[in-house]
Amino acid sequence: MTLIVRSIARWMIPSIFLLGVYVVLHGHLTPGGGFAGGVLVAGSFVLSILAFGVKKNKVETKKEWSSLTESIGIFLFWFLAFLGILWGSYFFLNVLTKMSPGARFHLFSAGSIPLYNLAIGIEVASALFTMVFVLMVFREKERP
């Protein structure tokens, strides 16, 4: 890419990443949540690959991390979902509400909902990055 794209990307990538993390963590208070924040986080990684190239980003090592974090996100989501059953109640029980109720409209006011958002954000970011990686691999194989 050109020097202008790389210069702007250096400033935009951390900003987009932090915005994605903010949307994931504050999804129960503001519009957004795990899916929207995960898309923003994945978008920051994709922008990095597009602006600086595959070799500088060491995409091969990110491929293994993407698979691992995708599995962690799925496991965390299902573990939280079954936690209510393990405590002798129902599926998707908001178990943390009883332990720390918190004040309304604050970060820790929703019980386990932010943890669900975090798990979904990890899963979505990893899945989208994996999809882009697969498309890059097929693109490389098509070139003569």
What pLDDT, on a 0 to 100 scale, did the predictor assign at position 103? 67
Q: Is there a contact between 117 and 33 (Cβ–Cβ < 8 Å)?
A: yes
Per-residue pLDDT averaged across 68-81, rounded?
Answer: 91
pTM of the model: 0.82
pLDDT at 98 over 80: no
pLDDT at 55 over 80: no
CA distance 51 to 144: 23
pLDDT at 128 over 90: yes
Mean pLDDT of the chain: 84
Cα 101 to its chain centre, rounded Å, is 26
CA distance 121 to 23: 9
Report the percent of the chain where pLDDT is more than 70: 83
Confidence of residue 100 (pLDDT cuts 50, 70, 90): low
Highest mean pLDDT of the ranges 21-30, 63-72, 93-102: 21-30
Q: At what angle do helices 3-25 and 34-52 cross, to 10 degrees?
A: 160
* pLDDT digit string, tens, across residues 56-67: 777 666 677 888
* pLDDT digit string, tens, across residues 25-51: 888 888 888 999 999 999 998 998 889
| Selected residue with higher pLDDT from 128 and 65 | 128
